[in-house]
Each structure stands twice: as structure tokens, then as C-alpha cells.
Amino acid sequence: MSARSRVRVRLTENLGMLILAIWLILTGLIQLLGLSFSGLNVIMGLLALVAGLLILFGR
């Protein structure tokens, strides 16, 4: 297995955690910087839902 294949496998195995990390960072930035735009709640909700499902199903 090549190094590139191993990175791809590792990324897909931790996809739920990666999305969770993105959600946490964005949540922190939104609170600290007071960011707001139309649809922000929907985007953050979808990120949380996808991360939770991927973690639950072991991806």
C-alpha cells in the first residue's frame, strides 16, 4: 500500500472526528468573533448531524 493510499484510508476512517473538529473550531470562532450570516444555524446543524452519524457508524 502506498503512502498516499494510507493517508486516504486514515482520512476516511477519521472523517467523523475531522468534521467534529471543524464544527468545534467554527463554533468557537463564531462565538469569539460574533460572526453571523443567513443559514449559519442550518450549516452548523448539518455539520453536527453528519459528524455524529459518522462517529456513531464508525467512519
Task: Indicate if the alpha-carbon torsion angle 38, 42, 45, 46 is positive or negative.
Answer: negative
Cβ within 8 Å of residue 34, ≥6 positions away: none
Tens digits of residue pLDDT in 11-43: 666 888 999 999 999 999 999 999 898 999 999
What is the span of the domain harbouring residue 17? Answer: 3-56
Q: How many independent structural domains does the chain possess?
A: 1
The residue type found at 45 is G
Residue-level pLDDT at 57: 87
pTM for the complete prediction?
0.71
For residue 3, pLDDT beyond 90: no
Could you tell me how many helices (H) and strands (E) the chain has, helices first? 3, 0
Query: Where do we find the cell 448539518?
Result: 46
